[in-house]
Chains A and B, each alone.
Chain A
Amino acid sequence: MGLTHQSSGKGALREDYLNYNVKGDYVIALAGNPNTGKSTVFNALTGLKQHTGNWPGKTVVQALGNYKHGQKQITLVDLPGTYSLLANSPEEQVARDFICFAEPDATVVVVDATCLERNLNLALQVLEITPKSIICLNLMDEARRKKIKIDVPALANKLGVPVIPTAARNGEGLTLLKDTINLVAAGAIELNPKRLVYDAKLEAAILELAGELDSLLPPQINRRWIALRLIDGDYTVVDGIRKFLEKKLVKEDFAS
């Protein structure tokens, strides 16, 4: 008897993080700075098929929606808009724990093409957690109006993940975005995300700590990223790991 989607742990765990019965093929997260057009992208892709509520245990609003594209049924998760994943507001914790522990099949980072520099901070933080990322370069119509030119292939090359220019309010670029989501979720695109390299002393510490963490964490958790947080003195991540392991153990008890 093979593992079904439900009993493989992955699908089931996500449902704990979402408090929602996920059906279909892929779960895709939508991240981004505030006011970059995440909800506009979300609404354009999902139409009116939405489910809203709060994130489990938090007063942060959660929106989920479904759509179908290329024979795949997709659940889209609109994460709270944040400038960072590291400053520990409830919104940032929700976004970060979902990307790190719930293992979405892909994470789309919606960035503002008129204000790219500010937006790349969050994009790089997401890339540091998960390679399965896509940059949605939104507000391209505004950028054109402001005569801002962006070398999209160069940006994609530097970041090592697909960059899709869009103007979500008038639907521009959304078909290509949906195609790309399916390809990344299916593992059909080679991803080579920009990795931040720290100074030698820090890199040595990361290596040592990641080694110590290796036997403690399930294989899908990004050890380098956890090590970085611990070095940062950010112990909320320990709480995140504890919750993840509790959920996982409960699921495994039921499965056996």
Chain B
Amino acid sequence: MDATHGNSNLVSLCVGQRGVVTSLAAEGIGRRRMLDLGLVPGTIVESVRRSPAGDPTAYIIRGTVIALRSEESSKIFVNPL
């Protein structure tokens, strides 16, 4: 649970599940990268594949498949759909 960001992050999405971005808990360059990928509040993200080791996970973000490490995806908060 996180009072400012809600209770789900991208890591917690199951493969095939979608979520709407609510906020980012990153600062500086890390935050910039997320914004440049199109991860702004309201964006729908779908989890599509998890690597055998469990990390990274591939997501569809605005029409492009992008792999994110849990280090990053745990900072992206979503409302699961």
Which residues of A does B touch, CB under 8 Å? Answer: 83-84, 86-88, 115, 117-118, 121, 232-234
Contact B33 A121 (CB under 8 A): no
Contact B36 A121 (CB under 8 A): yes
Task: Provide a sorted-by-A list of 24 A–B residue pairs whose CB atoms are within 8 angstroms.
Answer: A83-B36, A83-B37, A84-B32, A84-B33, A84-B36, A86-B32, A86-B36, A87-B29, A87-B32, A88-B29, A115-B62, A115-B63, A115-B64, A117-B38, A117-B62, A118-B38, A118-B62, A118-B64, A121-B36, A121-B38, A232-B28, A232-B32, A233-B28, A234-B29
Which residues of chain A have C-beta atoms less than 8 A from B33's C-beta?
A: 84, 87
Which residues of chain A have C-beta atoms less than 8 A from B64's C-beta?
A: 115, 118
B33, B36, B64 interface centre (most CB from chain A within 10 Å): B36
Closest to A233 in B: B28
Interface bracket on B: 10 to 19
Instruction: Report the bound CA distance from A233 to B29 in whole Å.
Output: 9
Which residues of chain B have C-beta atoms less than 8 A from A117's C-beta?
A: 38, 62-63
B1-48 residues at the A interface, CB under 8 angstroms = 28-29, 32-33, 36-38
Chain B nearest CB, measured from A249 CB (Å): 30
Chain B nearest CB, measured from A49 CB (Å): 34
Instruction: Report the bound CA distance from A83 to B29 in whole Å.
Output: 14
Chain A nearest CB, measured from B58 CB (Å): 16
Closest to B61 in A: A118
Closest to B27 in A: A233
Chain A nearest CB, measured from B60 CB (Å): 12
Which residues of chain B have C-beta atoms less than 8 A from A233's C-beta?
A: 28
Closest to A92 in B: B36
Instruction: Report the bound CA distance from A84 to B63 in whole Å.
Output: 17
Which residues of chain A have C-beta atoms less than 8 A from B38's C-beta?
A: 117-118, 121
Apart from A117-B38, A118-B63, A233-B28, what are 12 other A-B pairs with CB-CB below 8 Å?
A: A83-B36, A84-B32, A84-B33, A84-B36, A86-B36, A87-B29, A87-B32, A88-B29, A115-B64, A117-B62, A118-B64, A121-B38
A-B CB proximity, top 9 nearest: A84-B36, A83-B36, A87-B33, A118-B62, A87-B32, A86-B32, A115-B63, A118-B38, A233-B28
Chain B nearest CB, measured from A101 CB (Å): 21
Closest to A236 in B: B29
Instruction: Report the bound CA distance from A232 to B63 in whole Å.
Output: 28
Closest to B40 in A: A121
Closest to A125 in B: B36
Which residues of chain A have C-beta atoms less than 8 A from B29's C-beta?
A: 87-88, 234
Instruction: Report the bound CA distance from A233 to B28 in whole Å.
Output: 7
Chain A nearest CB, measured from B45 CB (Å): 14
Closest to B34 in A: A87
Instruction: Report the bound CA distance from A84 to B28 in whole Å.
Output: 14
Closest to A114 in B: B63
Chain A nearest CB, measured from B48 CB (Å): 17
Instruction: Report the bound CA distance from A25 to B29 in whole Å.
Output: 38
Chain B nearest CB, measured from A6 CB (Å): 38
Instruction: Report the bound CA distance from A129 to B29 in whole Å.
Output: 19
Chain B nearest CB, measured from A82 CB (Å): 9
Which residues of chain A have C-beta atoms less than 8 A from B62's C-beta?
A: 115, 117-118
